[in-house]
Structure 1
Amino acid sequence: MELLVCNNCESSVLNSSNFCNQCGGRLKCKECKSALEKGAKFCGECGTEINAVVASNGQPNTFHYYKKGDEIRCDVGLSNEVGKEGLKSLIENITQNSYPHTFDVSPINNGANQIEHQLPIEEAKNLESKNEVSEEKSFVNLNSVNQDKKLIKYLHIDDLLHKRKLSEMEWILIFAFYEGGYGAKTFTYDQVRSAYLNKRKNDSRNRNFSGNWTGLRKTFFDTASEGVFRIEFDKVDIVSDFVLGTASGIIKGAYENSKSPTSKKVTKEKPATATVVKASKSSKQIVLEDFDVVKSEKKPSLQEVFDKFKPSSNKDVFGLIAYYICELSKTETFTAGNIDYAYRILKLTRKNSLVQLINNVKNETQWFEGIESGKWKLSRLGSVALEEMFRL
């Protein structure tokens, strides 16, 4: 009589048997009936996959998850005690339980164990209620933010042009803000230039646009991609407030930031005498007017010219700035606002009674001719004299 040895329990069984009469383990392939080798996962003859061995005195491990209405329950059937604690942790993760819980272990068929995990109905209700409130609150807050943004209403650009008196650099910034969807989108150099010159075109503004744009790129614009720009993220609100009229002097402030702390301290500590009030009133009458101070193929920058000649007196500083504007930048006239702008670019201490000081130099040297209050042009004598003084 031929015998086979069970690969599972090593009991001897008849050669004609397909299963072990002691442990129930499979002895032969269920397809071709060839004897199976110990530990084999597939039949060596036909390649059929061999099913996992299940003890005859047990049953396969089972796991059931129930959720009906407010009730959540997990039932786990185990053939022995192994893995029970690990499955408790698994159940907690599945149910995402963050509140007190209990586990009940009770016998099931054939001596196996059952782990039952049931959530209290009231706690389950509270959890679902919390989730709903949290989601609703998040949704409402998001809508609230969007509504706040939608509530902002900007004036039409034509109304701004009619009501506001600003420097050209400030106007270019505003046009960039409008062309960029109030800070939400990008824009290009040509797009902003076209919109700006369409409303404010003259020879001087056309000529100075490039220089003003360069100044804004240093302080307000970011590059989104090649040739495409946007308002810097942390300055969108600043520009928005400026357009709405709730903030002022944002470009002026950018240049003032380069001044030394000492000069600011002196300004703050000055007593409010009648003289100071008068000077302040005079300052308010001057509107900052920018001009092209950037180096190009045809001229150096204003800073380079100033550093080369280093003028010290009011007369020489006014003369150099007037020469730069009228001769090098090819602008017919200059204003007190231009001189004030140059002082800020060069980081010079701003002069009080600026118009009067320029007129004093005009009367002393005959370099300038008055056009109207706060506006001059170079005289023929001034062109010749300043050319000799500041020949490059």
Structure 2
Amino acid sequence: MKRRRYWIILPLAVGVFFLSMTACSEKKTEESTVEESEKRTEKGEKETTEAEAEGAEELDYENMTAEDLLKDLLDKTELSDENFVWLTSTYRYVPITEELQLEENITSEAFSLLREKEIRYTCSEDSMKQLLASEYPQVRAEAYEWMESLLGLTDTNRALAKEAIGTEKDPYVLRAMIRTLGNEGSDPEIGPFLISMSKHTHPRVREQAAAWIGSSWNKEMEGAVEAEIALIQDEDQEVAKAACRNCGGLEDDRVVAPLVEILNDETKYELHGAAVDGLTDMWLDFPFHEATSEAAYKACMDYYKKTPRSENVPFWTTVGEADMISESSFPEWKEKASYYKPEELIAVMKEIALDPNADWLGRTAAFDVIKTHGGREALEAIKPEVDALTDKDASLVQDSLEDELKD
């Protein structure tokens, strides 16, 4: 009896066991499915949130207009942070050229349309952080553009920008960073960054560095003069031009010799305008009239006096560099600038104006300088000699003088 009951109970027990195991397995599978589903949902929501912040939903950007981008925003009086970040993030679709410029695009047009319709927008601190965290260089660079201010960087923005020093590698963004941090060379972290950018492999990054390292705000920046001198000799002409034009802001006579070397090389005549620009900043310093470099003044006079003149020397853009003064600060400056001799400057400008070998544009520019430093009387004094000119460009020079005398 016992044995018979055993064989009856055993199959029942086994059946119950398997039913139980199946139920557990089904429950576990169901729980796993729910858990995985929840994870996917959570991940999806996270990705969606990030995508919205990034403006990462795929747009048919190439076939859209600025109005298409703004279709949900034109009825607003002011963009929210979310709206602003979304619109700014559409710069990600815009190609960056080899010259590190954005191609013409509908995002810039959209912002112009907002201004036209007086729809306000700004970049808040939170928006700034989101843009700086973008994976797209176009968007990160735009954040740095928003940091710029006539009053300089705020402490918050400076801190945000400094966080990227040493980690940002994209040349388009680095160019924007240089422009934003360009006047901050006295900062012990920013100064070395600007100097390092003067050695970047991309010439447009070096060009931007050349333009800002020479800022008058960076007179105390360690290595600034040495960096500008190296950039003056850069193999890329636009880099060299930027360095020549801006190095004068450092007010250091060490840059005079390399600028004179360029002025003495007639094959580099296309750099002469920038070189004289930099030198004139050092000896005349319009409109502030604070700098006083006798070496720079002499270098300019030597260049103007060089003969025989030609179509390229003096280069026509160099001649009118000293044609403006500030009436309020100029008299006090003259007391300090003992080297300044208006009669010498007027005399060499007269020579250039009368020289048929010089470019006619430079000859006519000379009248502006004569008038600035000698007044109407100085122009009237040379009129007989100008009227007597007979060279091929004589009428152009004569007409220019007549126009100056009418003003």
Q: Which has the higher helix share?
A: 2
Q: TM-score, normalised by structure 2?
A: 0.27
Q: Which has the higher strand share?
A: 1
Q: TM-score, normalised by structure 1?
A: 0.27
